[in-house]
Structure 1
Amino acid sequence: MIRSILTGVGAYLPEKVLTNDDLSKIVDTSDEWIRQRTGIERRHVAGEGELTCDLAANAARAAMKMAGVDAREIDLLILATTTPDNTFPATAARVQAKLGVHQGPAFDIQAVCSGFIFALTQADNMIRLGQAKKALVIGAEIYSRILDWEDRGTCVLFGDGAGAVVLQAAEGDGTSADRGVLATETGTDGSHYDALYVDGGVATTGHAGHVRMAGQEVFRHAVSRMSQSVENVIARTGLAKADLNWLIPHQANARIIAKVGDKLGVPQDNVIVTVQEHANTSAATIPLALTHGVATQSFKPGDLIALTAMGGGFTWGAALLRW
């Protein structure tokens, strides 16, 4: 059977860094308060004139370089983002043009912090159906432009950044020993819509709005949804939790990450954690963490890796892949 194997990863973080101490000068907070509750130490902020497409294209170029592919080979581009450049066209179209890709579909997916899992799932499905051979899957966000910088409950949590992967079609035996994406799961429960949302939009206020969040409700659901979705994709392959080598969860909060790891029985040394460096970059956190894992040579051939996230909607999902 056809499998989607990951052949390249890439990341991009804007040059400007905003530390916790910097934030304490503009809102009632402190470095100690933020670290204790979230694990975050700093976040990156897009520069003036820097757009989501710029972040996405930079990460994509790095992933393409690692994969050894050029623009003529990419026949699918999916961008997960909550912060598009414009209402339309899709920001993916602008990224496609920046990369010099002129073939295949390019479109955005909006599933907030779960967006990369949704995009990866869509790309994997299209590759397995023979609708694409080499795909770029990107998560890119500029949250600094939808934050209320007077709300310490949200402005300390988010940052800007992008991560990307190249997926390529390859032959597999159809077993859990195959290299590549083995199983994915996505879900949504819109009854929690108001627990994490932006108070603006085209059809409501006519402007972008700001992030609003019921923190405790999000925390509780994130732990249960993320861990359960990983258990589900593992079970679907006939494997066991003990077979997992690495966990790469959405990087929203260090305490959430630790609890998900504990529920899945993954040692903390085998959980990739990067939230301290870039805060919650929504759809970009998983590819950023994945790129960190590659850069630190954490993964070896044959390792079983679980990716998982939960975001506004509520949306959630997981992917299981063999390195």
Structure 2
Amino acid sequence: MTQGTKIVASAHYVPKDIISNDDLTAIMDTSDEWIQAHTGIQARHMSLQGENTSDLATQAAKQALDNSDLTADDIDLIIVTTFTPDGLAPSTAALVQRNLGAHHAWAYDISTACAGFVFGMSTADKFIKSGQYNHALVISAEVNSKMMDFKDRTSAVFFGDGAGAVILSGTDMANNQVIGEQMRTVGNADVVHSGRIAPMRQLSADNYPTIDAFQQIGRQVFDEVISIIPDHVETFLATKNLEPADIDFFITHQANLRIIEQIAAAINQPMTKFSTNVVYYGNTSSAGIAMAFDELAKKEKLIGKKVLLTGFGAGFTYGSLLLQF
């Protein structure tokens, strides 16, 4: 049975500790002026009280359930998108399932870095539209701070921690809200990477696995995004006989305010159409779009509106999901 997909609730959660640019200048050679000029970021939240990724995800999910008419027992599927999981196994989603007491749900993680929320939404939409599942939780959660090298001022100043969640439910096709998508991957392991685990080179009793910190080549990331994403947005919308001017709100990955401004200029759309939170939350990786969607949904009446979600991140992985309310 084919059915449509609708968003019935959303929420977001951030740790309580707020780290200003001045706080970062105390531990690295940078300044508030440099950070704001290059990124637009003024502050970010960091998990300094022992909360891990599954904890942030659980809090966002609980709030989303509170904002709906559903309970944890109603959820059929939990997808967590993250590239800062609690660990490789069990999945962060499995820990969230346990924390929520969502006994009827099966759960797994998706790792597409900062594009995660768009890929998670796309995936859950297919399960809902199959008719076999009625309610899905899509949660994007990141504790980026645990993966940072705070001697690397070119990366560490960007990132914050947070989580966003939405609940998708089945509906009749007349009320279907997910009306199109386009996903792409261009394999590139060098521009952005995190958590690499080196293989053994010899059998040794003192061998112990280690991982590397987050690393990026910032200028190359910026150039790739600006050269690829505007064309991707226009090309995708054209497949739906739409232009950027037809979209009421854009929510892109909250990488950097300057990148979002460049995308807006490239597709000739005003920044007033772009929902942003990077200024006060920093780059929260896959969680940024989910958090910005929740803020937009609470601020604007979306009935009758078209909203484009566009994610891009390490991989190089990117994609857009078109919502019609």
Measured against the shorter chain, the TM-score band is: over 0.9
- Whole-angstrom distance in 1 between the partners of 2:69 and 2:269: 33
Output the CA distance in 2 between the equivalents of 1:229 and 1:117.
Answer: 14
**Cα gap change, 1:237/1:256 in structure 2, threshold over 3 Å: closer, same or farther?**
same
- Paired amino acid for 1:184: E
Give how far 1:67 is off: 2.2
Q: For residues 22-74 of structure 1, give each alpha carbon's deviation from its aligned partner in whole angstroms, at most 9, with x where no partner exists.
A: 00110000111000100100111113321111100111111122222111111
Work out whether residues 163 and 291 of structure 1, in 8 Å CA contact, stay in contact via their aligned partners in 2: yes
Could you list the per-position Cα deviations for residues 192-211 of structure 1 after superposition, in whole angstroms to 9, with x for gaps in the alignment?
21000126326478223211
Find the counterpart in structure 1 of residue 139 from structure 2.
Answer: 138
Q: Aligned residue for 1:184?
A: 181
Q: Which amino acid aligns with 1:195?
A: V
Change (3 A) 1:203 1:287: farther
Q: Which amino acid aligns with 1:145?
A: K
Counterpart of 2:273?
270
Matched, 1:74 2:71: no
Are the structure 2 counterparts of residues 43 and 93 from structure 1 closer, same or farther at C-alpha, using a change threshold of 3 Å? same
Q: In 1, distance between residues paired with 2:232 and 2:110?
A: 20
Gaps of 5+ in 2: 201-207
CA distance in structure 2 between the aligned counterparts of 1:171 and 1:276, rounded to whole angstroms: 38
More moved, 286-295 vs 22-31: 286-295
Aligned pair count reads 317
1:108 paired residue number: 109
Structure 1 residue runs of 4 or more that deviate by more than 3 Å after TM superposition: 202-205
Q: Distance in 2 between matches of 1:216 and 1:7?
A: 39
Q: Root-mean-square deviation (CA), in Å?
A: 1.6
User: Are the structure 2 counterparts of residues 260 and 299 from structure 1 closer, same or farther at C-alpha, using a change threshold of 3 Å?
Assistant: farther
Matches within 5 A, 1:1-323: 2-173=3-174, 179-190=176-187, 192-198=188-194, 200-201=196-197, 203=199, 206-295=209-298, 297-323=299-325
Other structure's SS at 1:59 match? helix
2:87 partner SS: coil
- Report the CA distance between 1:169 and its aligned residue: 1.0
SS at match of 2:49: coil
CA distance in 2 between partners of 1:233 and 1:3 (Å): 21
Question: In the TM superposition, what whole-angstrom CA distance separates every residue of 1:112-154 from its partner, at most 9, and x where no partner exists?
Answer: 0011111111101111112321110010001111100011000
**How far off its partner does 1:9 sit?**
0.7
CA contact (8 A) 1:159 1:280 kept: yes
Give me the TM-score of the superposition, normalised by structure 2: 0.93
For structure 1, list consecutive stretches of 5 or more residues without a partner in the other structure.
none
Q: 1:95 to 1:168 in 2, by over 3 A?
A: same
Pairwise CA distance, 1:220: 1.5
Structure showing greater radius of gyration is 2
Q: TM-score, normalised by structure 1?
A: 0.94
In the TM superposition, residue 165 of structure 1 has moved relative to its aligned partner by 0.5
